Amino acid sequence: MTRYSLEKRVARLEARIRPAEPPPELTAEEIRFNQAVAELLGRMDPRFSCHVLSEENRDSNLAWAVGFIALHHIEDGTPLELPAPAAEIYLAYPDAFPRQQCQECGFLSPFTWASDERISNTTDATNSLAPYLETCPLCGGEIGWPSVFTYNQNQASLKSAAPATG
Ligand SMILES: [Zn+2]
């Protein structure tokens, strides 16, 4: 093979390997988000991370929950975790979303606005917003009301609180 034909062949191979269009530039936020999602998927039970990674489940509720948890980890410092008991809930209940929080560690736990099923399963009609999980699968803390802000306020007040005396 002559040097010329080899060069031509390499050029042809390179053209085939290179994408037709350069990939779009990602912003720093998008890169951070993608890294957080990848890290979260790596920590999850493979049964659930495989579900999220498969093409037909891209828009599933569990995939959406992964994105939400990653985003709030970046923005609010909530745990980058989605343990199996919570992942199972997102798969079983399409309207569950990560909005209730552990009062101890800030873990975002599955929550839903009152669905018919939830109302029929609770004895107290005013308590139709009962959490799916009552204790945190990460630290065993109590799952509180659905507000990211509650956790942030608690953290802020803990930080600004004067050191305990005695
Ligand atoms: Zn917790």
Residues 152 and 159: beta-carbon distance below 8 Å = no
Interval 76-103: pLDDT, tens: 999 999 999 999 999 998 888 898 889 9
Interval 99-110: pLDDT, tens: 888 999 999 999
Nearest-CA neighbor of 150 among 76, 69, 59, 40?
A: 76
Expressed in angstroms and rounded, the spacing between residue 154 Cα and the centre of ligand 1 is: 14
Expressed in angstroms and rounded, the spacing between residue 150 Cα and the centre of ligand 1 is: 14
In whole angstroms, what is the distance from residue 144 CA to residue 88 CA?
20
Phi, psi dihedral angles at 114 (to 5 degrees): -50, 110
What residue segments make up the domains of the chain, in order of their start? 28-160
Expressed in angstroms and rounded, the spacing between residue 143 Cα and the centre of ligand 1 is: 8
Interval 122-156: pLDDT, tens: 555 444 555 688 899 999 999 876 554 444 555 55
DSSP string covering 54-87, please?
Answer: SGGGTTSHHHHHHHHHHHHHHHH-------HHHH
Q: Check residue 133 and report its DSSP letter.
A: -
According to the model, what pLDDT value does residue 164 have? Answer: 47
Residues 74 and 36: beta-carbon distance below 8 Å = yes
Specify which residues 100 forms β-bridges with.
Answer: 109
According to the model, what pLDDT value does residue 39 have? Answer: 97
Confirm whether pTM is higher than 0.95.
Answer: no
Helix axes 148-160, 61-76, angle to 10 degrees: 20
Expressed in angstroms and rounded, the spacing between residue 126 Cα and the centre of ligand 1 is: 25
